[in-house]
Structure 1
Amino acid sequence: MANIKSAKKRAIQSVKRNLHNRMIMSDVKTATRKFEEAVAAGNKDAAQELYPIAVKKWDMAASKKVVHKNAANRRKSNFYAKLNGMA
C-alpha cells in the first residue's frame, strides 16, 4: 500500500478510471458483438441498423481515450468491409 499522499490519490484515481473504462468497453463490445452476430447470420437489414451504433460506440471510446483512435478506425473499417461484403 502506498504511504505518500499523492500515491494514495493516484491509486484511488486508477481504480475509478479502470471502472469507468471497463464500463465503456463493455458497451463497445456489446455493440460489436450484436453487429458481428447479424453479419454472421446474414441478416443485412439488422446489420445496417447496428452498424452506426457500433461505429458510434467505437468513436466514443476513442474520444475518451479508452482505445487508441487508430484502433477504433481500424475496427470501423473492418465493420464497413463486412457490411459491404454481404450479398
Structure 2
Amino acid sequence: MANIKSAIKRAKTNEERRMRNLSMKTEMRTYIKKVEKLIEEKNAEQAQDVLKEAVSKIDKCVQKGIIHKNNGDRKKSRLMKKVANIGA
C-alpha cells in the first residue's frame, strides 16, 4: 500500500474511476444484449428503439475514453447491420 499522501489519493481516485468505467461498460453491454435478443425474436420495431439507446451508450463510452473509437464504431455497425437484416 502507498505511504505518500498523493499516492494514496491517486490509488483512491483510480479505484473510483475503475468502478465508474466498469458500470458504464456493463450498462453498454446490457443494451447491446437487449438489441440482440430482440433481433432473435424478429421484433424489428422494438429493436430499432433499443438500438438508438444502445448507440447512445456506446457513444458515451467512446466519449469518456472507456472504449476506443474504432471499437465503438465496429459495435454500432454490427448492431445496425443485424437490425437491418431482420426483415430480409
Give the TM-score normalised by the residue count of structure 1. Answer: 0.93
For 1:21, the equivalent position in structure 2 comes to: 21
4+ aligned runs moved over 3 Å, structure 1: none
One-letter amino acid of the counterpart of residue 41, structure 1: E
- Percent identity, please: 34
Where does the alignment leave 5 or more consecutive residues of structure 1 unmatched? Answer: none
Within 5 Å, which residues of 2 pair with 1:55-66?
Answer: 55-66=55-66
TM-score where L is the length of structure 2? 0.92
CA distance in 2, matches of 1:61, 1:51: 15
| Structure 2 gaps, min length 5 | none
In the TM superposition, 1:1-87 aligns within 5 A as: 1-87=1-87
* More RCO (CA 8 Å, sep 6+): 2
Please report how far the alpha carbon of residue 5 of structure 1 lies from its aligned counterpart in structure 2 after TM superposition: 2.1
Q: How many residues align?
A: 87
SS of residue paired to 2:67? coil
